[in-house]
Amino acid sequence: VIEAADEHGCACTLTHECFCGPEGLEAIKKSVSENDLDGILVAACSERAKTAEFNALTVDGPSMFRTAIREHCAWPLKEAEDDEDKTACAKDMIQMGLARLDGVKAIEPLSEEISDTVMVVGSGRAGLEASLTAAGLGHPVVLVEKDDKLGGLLADQKSIPPEEPPYEQPEANPVPKLLEEIEASDQIKVLTTTNIVKIDGQPGQFKVQLNGSSGLEMTIGSIVQATGATPYDASKLGHLGYGASPDVVTSHEFEKMLVDGKIACPSDGRTPKRIAYIQCAGSRDENHLNYCSSECCNNTLRQMMEVSKIDKSIENAVIYKDMRAPGHME
- pTM equals 0.71
Q: How confident is the model at residue 213 (pLDDT cuts 50, 70, 90)?
A: low
Is residue 267 scored above 70 in pLDDT?
yes
Mean pLDDT of 63-74: 90
pLDDT for 325 equals: 85
Higher pLDDT, 318 or 228: 318
Q: Which pLDDT does position 193 carry in this prediction?
A: 93
Tell me, yes or no, whether 44 lies in a domain: yes
Are 129 and 122 contacting, i.e. CB atoms less than 8 angstroms apart?
Answer: no
- The answer to the question of residue 157 being in a domain is yes
Q: What pLDDT is recorded for position 101?
A: 87
215 domain-assigned? yes
9 is a domain residue: yes
Question: Is pLDDT above 90 for 38?
Answer: no
My answer on whether 131 and 208 are in the same domain is yes
**Res 106: pLDDT:** 67
Upper half-sphere CA count for residue 259 (Cβ side, 13 Å): 13
Instruction: For residues 78 and 269, give the distance between their C-alpha atoms in angstroms, rounded to a whole number.
Output: 98
Task: Say if 109 falls within a structural domain.
Answer: no
The arithmetic mean of pLDDT across residues 71-92, rounded, is: 86
The pLDDT tens digits of the residues spanning 158-191 come to 999 999 988 889 999 999 999 999 999 999 999 9
Residues 228, 252: Cα–Cα separation, whole Å: 15
Strands (E), 226-294: 274-278
Counting Cα atoms < 13 Å in the Cβ hemisphere of 323 gives: 10
User: What's the domain count of the chain?
Assistant: 3
Residues 135 and 217 in one domain: yes
Query: Residue 290 belongs to what domain range?
Result: 234-329
At residue 212 the predicted structure's pLDDT band, cuts being 50, 70 and 90, is low
With respect to residue 108, please indicate whether it lies within any of the assigned structural domains: no
The answer to whether residues 81 and 178 belong to one domain is: no
> What sign does the CA torsion over 15, 20, 23, 29 have?
positive
325 and 238 in a single domain? The answer is: yes
Query: Higher model confidence: residue 81 or residue 145?
Result: 145
Contact residues for 166 (Cβ-Cβ < 8 A; gap 6+): none
Q: Are residues 7 and 92 in the same domain?
A: yes
Q: What is the mean pLDDT of the chain?
A: 92
Per-residue model confidence as pLDDT tens digits over 286-322: 999 999 998 899 999 999 999 999 999 999 999 999 9
Same domain, 125 and 85: no
User: Dihedral of CA 143/149/154/155: which sign?
Assistant: positive
- Comparing 12-16, 149-153, 157-161, the range with the smallest average pLDDT is 12-16
> What is the CATH classification number for the domain harbouring 212?
3.50.50.60
Percent of the chain with pLDDT over 90: 66
pLDDT value at residue 214: 61
Higher pLDDT, 30 or 81: 30
